[in-house]
Structure 1
Amino acid sequence: MKEETIDYSRAAASPAFQELLKKKRAFIVPMTVFFLIFYFLLPILTSYFTFLNESAVGPITWAWIFAIAQFAMTWTLCILYTRKADQFDRMADECKREFRGAES
């Protein structure tokens, strides 16, 4: 069985791999920033402001609605990432095929 040696420096410098990294970064960085801001906004707002303590629907306050929205946001981001990860996986597979084809 022949062992493949891969020149990872060349593979990392390839245009297809650089495009994959660019697209992943363009998706992951804004989503991470959004998640962190949304996540930490609740404790910050409840610490310094009182408007979240006002009733939204009966005895349920805006703080509870915000907290429940965080669960919905987490599920939504997970679903979005799962779908996007399929695209990233296809791009990575294409990079591997392209690089292996160039090695032969």
Structure 2
Amino acid sequence: MASNDSIAKENQLSASTDYTKIVQSQSFQELLRKKRNFIVPLSIFFMVFYFTLPILTSYSKVLNSIAFGTISWAWIFAFAQFIMTWTLCILYSKKAVTFDRLVEKIIKEAKG
């Protein structure tokens, strides 16, 4: 449990931090740009890939054909969504290390 002194120091540091200056800093802008350039394309890909299955199964017969045995392409596509989700999570987890480094740099700059 944190002592009252450490809580007071933390509150004092928070009160003295100029968040406007941090937001306008080059490092913070770089962090936002890198996150946006990574997250937006992956989010668009995820949404398109995710909604393709229900749209194709509702409005066409494309995925109804047999892929092999008694398994249709719809089942393969549905399973691929799990793989896609895991892959995107792994990619983000690895990329988050870069984001964390940028955050540490921003914190160091803010402390002076």
Please indicate the TM-score interval, normalised by the length of the shorter structure: over 0.9
Which of 17, 36, 49 is the equivalent residue of 1:25?
36
2:27 corresponds to 1:16: yes
Q: Which amino acid aligns with 1:51?
A: V
Alignment of 1:72-83 (within 5 A): 72-83=83-94
Specify the alignment match of 1:34 in structure 2. 45
2:77 corresponds to 1:66: yes
Specify the alignment match of 1:51 in structure 2. 62
> Structure 2: how far apart are the matches of 1:96 and 1:53?
54
Question: Can you give the 5+ residue segments of structure 2 that lack an aligned partner in the other structure?
Answer: none
CA-to-partner distance for each residue in 1:35-72, whole Å, 9 max, x for gaps? 01100000000011102000001100000000000000
Larger Rg: 2
**Local SS of the residue matching 2:17:** coil
> Structure 2: how far apart are the matches of 1:29 and 1:93?
23
Specify the alignment match of 2:111 in structure 1. 100
Task: Report the TM-score, using the length of structure 1 for normalisation.
Answer: 0.94
Shift of 1:99: 1.8
Q: Which amino acid aligns with 1:34?
A: F
**Local SS of the residue matching 1:56:** strand
RMSD: 0.9
Shift of 1:80: 0.2
Question: Can you give the 5+ residue segments of structure 1 that lack an aligned partner in the other structure?
Answer: none
Task: Report the TM-score, using the length of structure 2 for normalisation.
Answer: 0.87
Higher relative contact order (CA 8 A, sep 6+): 2
Larger mean Cα displacement after TM superposition, 2-11 or 68-77: 2-11
